[in-house]
Amino acid sequence: MANLEELMIFRPSKQYKPECEQKIAPGKSVLPKGWQSEEGFMPLPCDIIVEKDARVKMRDGVSLCVDIFRPATDEQVPVLVSWSPYGKDNCTRASYKGIFSLVGIPNSKVSGLQKFEGSDPAYWCAHGYAVCNPDTRGITKSEGTIYTIGSHEAQDGYDLIEWLAVQDWCSGKVALSGTSYLAFSQWFIASTQPPHLAAINPEEGLTDAYRDLVSRGGITDVGFAARIQSSQAHEGEPVDWEDLAAEGMKYPLADNPLWQDKTAQPERITCPAYVVASYSNTLHTMGTFRAWRAIPDGKKWLRIHDGQEWPDFYDEEQQEDRRRFFDYFLKDIPNGWENTPTVRYSLHDFEGGNITGIESRTFPPYGVRSEKLYLDGLTRTLSAVPQASDVPAKYASEGIVPMVSFIYTASERTEIVGYPMVKLWLEAEGYDDMDVYISLYKLDKFGSMLQQFTVPNHGARNHDLTERGGSILRYRGSTGRLRVSMRHLDEEKSTPEIPYHSFDRVEKLKPGEIVPVEVEMYPVGMLLYAGESLRLVVSARDEAGSMMPGTAPAKPDNKGMHVIHCGGKYDSYLQLPFKH
């Protein structure tokens, strides 16, 4: 870790504002049934014992500050941990309430005691579980340096789990649960194999800080990294705070030891895992599916929903489903969880007829076959038969319409479910590099593009905020991106369906050079009805826009003409997973 410290970029931490905190006194107390954190929040359904600002020593002597909520019982109970660098006890502050309002989650859905994106003590204590909300190293009242993602956090998570397991109120079984940061921290912590970690439940979390966060497709894109760090703060004198966004700008290649440390190793996870994913989360989808594939076969389950992570995580039906998983592995309750289908997936039709909970033993499900649809530069269609000669499609990368499209129309009801990818033969005229952005849209039988909100709030403000961005909140279809100079494939990790780029070298284009590139696309579950179409778009800009409103999108590095060679010896194609 010493060498990593030399690579990290540190700034002074921000100042924590304690007025944001829950008004609960430090130490041990009891919150009575009916207690409310603020007006409008869920009243507690039972008495809850609180240990606020408890101190936990890490192996190097640094002290973390944690809040523990547990049922008012003498029985030993299992505990769920919500691990993230977000404040442990400020979920009633205006900014967090604003986020839930944005997606359409009413305050009454939660008690306000939950950590942002974490398990709500009101629900879990009522069902015989404790909840631990830690402030990670350096955050608020915790000591030490603030790190973001990687082995430092994994080591601390291990130590906290083992400390919790031996408390006199704990049954000795600990689990990790939560969405977003609280999900991707689970890949890192669980890979260290804490002896008392009984299960994990990650919902929507990246696995690779380079590929999923700061340099998707090899294109530097640090806007969201800066955003997730904006709420990190320390109480008292500033501490060192790792600036992940600055590191993303400084270290453009993935083979840097810093990025290797911030790449999870889900193949080392040995405890049961209930993984929740979606096709539509432009921040988390790739990493969640990557982790699911890597976790060893055995006690792992995957559910693919059709919405956004926060409404799904706090949905009553899904909380009950999650509790069945935890009851089975943390309480040894014989509730039949072991018979739960290994995979439950969704199909989007973008017309109000989404199908969810489709059972399968695998993903993609049995019966899926990858088939190539070749780009025709003359007719701008996608065809099962490649064209005999090359007819290029081209666009001015800095022009008013910096894109080209290709259409495929279904003749019958068609299911597309699994991993799409695109292969293109590309040439840059007037420059030595290209940033290409791929989008796959569904069109109705009249040729209009279909899309859907992934959140309950469909109000006018959300229409405005997601018109040219906010892709996590409004889903338009599968996407992919690649900087062509970063096209080198890792042959050992690539498969015919999922290309894996090494991102460890820069190979600029020479004048007149035509190169093949393979672009990984987000996994998809989509229904086409007879007469409906797919539109494949290749563009010089990110048509999906930023992930969340208020976050700047990536700035492409494009000049001159982009040329896509189609036909003859240039087999440019879209490969789709058709279910038969």
Give the tens place of pLDDT for each residue, 204-222. Answer: 999 999 999 999 999 999 9
> E-assigned strands of 181-299?
197-203, 233-234, 240-242, 273-278
Same domain? 93 vs 240: yes
The domain boundary residue, chosen from 208, 237, 265: 265
Same domain? 258 vs 378: no
Q: How far, in Å, CA of 265 to CA of 190, rounded?
A: 9
Cβ contacts of 255 within 8 Å, gap of 6 or more: 502, 503, 504
Query: Does 402 reside within a domain?
Result: yes
Return the axis-axis angle of helices 151-165 and 181-190, rounded to nearest 10°: 80
503, two tokens: 């991102």
- Please say if the pLDDT value at position 134 is more than 90: yes
- Please say if the pLDDT value at position 469 is more than 90: no
User: Collapsing DSSP states into helix, strand and coil, what is residue 28?
Assistant: strand
**Mean local confidence (pLDDT), 412-422:** 98
CA 499 to chain centre: 19
> E-assigned strands of 103-217?
130-135, 170-179, 197-203
Residue 470 pLDDT grade (very low, low, confident, very high; cuts 50, 70, 90)? confident
- Give per-residue pLDDT as tens, 339-349: 999 999 999 99
Residue 449 pLDDT grade (very low, low, confident, very high; cuts 50, 70, 90)? very high
Tell me, what's the pLDDT at 87? 86
Same domain? 389 vs 502: yes
- Give per-residue pLDDT as tens, 172-203: 999 999 999 999 999 999 999 999 999 999 99
The domain boundary residue, chosen from 215, 230, 265: 265
Residue 393 φ then ψ, to 5°: -110, 135
Query: Does 408 reside within a domain?
Result: yes
Tell me the residue length of the chain. Answer: 580
- Please say if the pLDDT value at position 398 is more than 60: yes
Long-range contacts of 69-75 (CB under 8 A, 24+ apart): 69/113, 69/121, 69/125, 69/130, 69/131, 69/132, 69/133, 70/125, 70/130, 70/131, 70/169, 71/46, 71/47, 71/125, 71/126, 71/128, 71/129, 71/130, 72/30, 72/46, 72/47, 72/48, 73/128, 75/128
- Please say if the pLDDT value at position 392 is more than 70: yes
| Mean of pLDDT over the chain | 95
Same domain? 58 vs 184: yes
**Mean local confidence (pLDDT), 466-494:** 95
- Give per-residue pLDDT as tens, 425-436: 999 999 999 999
- Give per-residue pLDDT as tens, 525-553: 999 999 999 999 999 999 888 888 888 88
Same domain? 245 vs 375: no
Residue 335 pLDDT grade (very low, low, confident, very high; cuts 50, 70, 90)? very high
- Please say if the pLDDT value at position 409 is more than 90: yes
Q: How far, in Å, CA of 182 to CA of 85, rounded?
A: 9
Query: Does 196 reside within a domain?
Result: yes
Tell me, what's the pLDDT at 315? 94
**Cα Rg of the chain, angstroms:** 24
* Residue of 62 and 231 predicted with greater confidence: 62
- Please say if the pLDDT value at position 1 is more than 60: no
H helices of 466-505, in order, are: none
Tell me, what's the pLDDT at 101? 85
- Please say if the pLDDT value at position 447 is more than 90: yes
Tell me, what's the pLDDT at 516? 98
Query: What is the percent of the chain where pLDDT is above 70?
Result: 98
Same domain? 86 vs 200: yes
Query: Does 291 reside within a domain?
Result: no
Pairing of strands 573-579, 414-418: antiparallel
Query: What is the percent of the chain where pLDDT is above 90?
Result: 88
Same domain? 258 vs 393: no
DSSP state of 212: I
- Give per-residue pLDDT as tens, 30-75: 999 999 998 999 999 999 999 999 999 999 999 999 999 999 999 9
Q: How far, in Å, CA of 479 to CA of 439, rounded?
A: 4
**Mean local confidence (pLDDT), 100-112:** 90
- Please say if the pLDDT value at position 96 is more than 80: no
**Mean local confidence (pLDDT), 561-575:** 98
For the chain, the domain total comes to 2
Tell me, what's the pLDDT at 99? 83
Exposed, middle or buried: residue 277 (CB in 10 Å: 0-12, 13-18, 19+)?
buried
Tell me, what's the pLDDT at 21? 60
CA 127 to chain centre: 28
Query: Does 53 reside within a domain?
Result: yes
Query: Does 497 reside within a domain?
Result: yes
**Mean local confidence (pLDDT), 148-166:** 97
Task: Assign residue 12 the CATH number of its domain.
Answer: 3.40.50.1820
User: Collapsing DSSP states into helix, strand and coil, what is residue 336?
Assistant: coil
107, two tokens: 């305050």
- Please say if the pLDDT value at position 20 is more than 60: no
Residue 578 φ then ψ, to 5°: -85, 135
Tell me, what's the pLDDT at 228? 84
User: Taking the alpha carbons of 19, 20, 24, 25 in that order, is the dihedral positive or negative?
Assistant: negative
Residue 227 pLDDT grade (very low, low, confident, very high; cuts 50, 70, 90)? confident
Query: Does 272 reside within a domain?
Result: no
CA 129 to chain centre: 26
- Please say if the pLDDT value at position 517 is more than 90: yes
**Mean local confidence (pLDDT), 354-358:** 97
Report the 3 state secondary structure along 495-522: CCCCCCECCCCCCCCCCCCCEEEEEECC
Query: Does 348 reside within a domain?
Result: no
The domain boundary residue, chosen from 265, 283, 298: 265
Tell me, what's the pLDDT at 100? 85
For residue 115, what are the domain limits?
Answer: 2-265
